[in-house]
Amino acid sequence: MGGQGSGRPPSAETLIRRSQPPPLVPMGSEMFIPNYSGIQPAAKKDSTNPLDASKVVVTDANKQLASTGDATFTGTLTIDQNSDAYGIDIDSEATTKAGLRVYTMGGNCATLSNEAGGADTEYAHLCKHNNSDGSFFFKRDLAAADTAGPVLKIIQDNTGDDQIALNVQQDGTGIGIQCDQNNNARALNIDKDVTNAANSTQCALFYNTSVVNDAGTYAKNENCVEIVNNVTETSGTITDTSITLAVSNTHADATGAVVDVNNDGKGHGIYVHQDGVSDASKYGLYVYSNAAQTNTPLAYVLQDNASSTTAALEVEQDGNVEVLALDQDYTSAAFIDYQGTSAADATKSISSWTNATIAGFVKVEINGTAYWMPYYNAPTS
């Protein structure tokens, strides 16, 4: 039933039988006559073998022919690959379409699992819908003896390519990238190496840009970069000597600044808010050098605008102690070096006149003992 000329498609068994050589019918102990009965050439509409190398036969649960060639199949297709070869190998010559397209109405579009280390030890879920694991989920649960690389690795290996290796665009209200590091290793490690070429770009660049073009009024009050170093002691004690931010320049011949703060706004350039009570030999601001400095001072304050009317340095002390303590350990050097313009009048910062009257005294301490140092009226000739 369903043969050539009947008007109905042949069954899968018929297609497979046609692909085999004609059976031999025994006539005697030593004689065989080929059986060529069946469909006559006159009734055939297609005498070619339908099961050539370019065709695929798919049957349904009732062993009825589903399709050959370009197939649309309804059901479950299971491939049991027991040899060291590809289970599915798609060689697509398409130029505008995908080699593989998967549609689903829920669950995962695809689940990829490598069970060499055991069930559910290495797997990925692609296109998970409404799941707390996210749309794309990669997981590995193997000890170090069974791993030799990262869970996910992206390599852009062509030196002539100027495109981004990984681009994350977040248009929602959630976090763009979150790293939850739960062991004693670096949470983020950026290693930029430039070999035999100019190194003229940043290792890392952070922008916090606000755009207003609707005549509205908004507030911007968060940090571009915030670093929090915290310890939670619910039971037990942690001796914390960690540094919240460490910046190092290990190139001895470098002449660039280690930290460059460029403030074009109206706020503080650097604001040290010391709320904790400092331990002995700990300071809100500490500048230290053990090198033999011969060219410039260790700390330098420059107010370079000639129209400025404020002090270059001001120290305000609200406590019951001296404002400024000068500790000179070099026995033959002066405490203060006054550098200015000298003149034989009272118009410059230094006067060569010696005739002046005492206007009052200023309390000072010398080696812990209090004294009163006089200050004078303007000198006269």
| pLDDT tens column, 165-218 | 999 999 999 999 999 999 999 999 999 999 999 999 999 999 999 999 999 999
pLDDT at position 107, please? 81
Whether 137 shows a pLDDT value over 60: the answer reads: yes
The 3-state secondary structure of the chain reads CCCCCCCCCCCHHHHHHHCCCCCEEECCCCCEEECCCCCCCCCCCCCCCCCCCCCCCEECCCCCEEECCCCCCCCCCCCCCCCCCCCCCCCCCCCCCCCCCCCCCCCCCEEEECCCCCCCCEEEEECCCCCCCCCEEEEECCCHHHCCCCCCCCCCCCCCCCCCCCCCCCCCCCCCCCCCCCCCCCCCCCCCCCCCCCCCCCCCCCCCCCCCCCCCCCCCCCCCCCCCCCCCCCCCCCCCCCCCCCCCCCCCCCCCCCCCCCCCCCCCCCCCCCCCCCCCCCCCCCCCCCCCCCCCCCCCCCCCCCCCCCCCCCCCCCCCCCCCCCCCCCCCCCCCCCCCCEECCCCCCEECCCECCEEEEEEEEECCEEEEEEEECCCEC
Which of 116, 142, 168 finishes a domain? Answer: 142
User: How many whole angstroms separate alpha carbon 164 and alpha carbon 156?
Assistant: 9
pLDDT at position 45, please? 47
Mean pLDDT within 64-73: 58
The reply to whether 219 falls in a domain is: no
The reply to whether 172 falls in a domain is: no
- Judge if 77 and 109 occupy the same domain: no
The reply to whether 72 falls in a domain is: yes
User: How many whole angstroms separate alpha carbon 149 and alpha carbon 192?
Assistant: 20
- Judge if 113 and 52 occupy the same domain: no
Whether 353 shows a pLDDT value over 80: the answer reads: yes
- Judge if 49 and 112 occupy the same domain: no
- Judge if 57 and 111 occupy the same domain: no
- Judge if 4 and 76 occupy the same domain: yes
Whether 18 shows a pLDDT value over 60: the answer reads: yes
- Judge if 1 and 71 occupy the same domain: yes
pLDDT tens profile 297-336: 999 999 999 999 999 999 999 999 999 999 999 999 999 9
- Judge if 53 and 19 occupy the same domain: yes
The reply to whether 161 falls in a domain is: no
- Judge if 45 and 122 occupy the same domain: no
pLDDT at position 47, please? 44
Domain count of the fold of the chain: 3
- Judge if 129 and 58 occupy the same domain: no
Q: Give the structural domain span for 32.
A: 1-82
Which of 91, 113, 142 finishes a domain? Answer: 142
- Judge if 67 and 130 occupy the same domain: no
The reply to whether 193 falls in a domain is: no
pLDDT tens profile 209-223: 999 999 999 999 999
- Judge if 74 and 115 occupy the same domain: no
pLDDT at position 88, please? 87
pLDDT at position 195, please? 92
The reply to whether 377 falls in a domain is: yes
Which of 142, 170, 187 finishes a domain? Answer: 142
The reply to whether 174 falls in a domain is: no
The reply to whether 358 falls in a domain is: yes
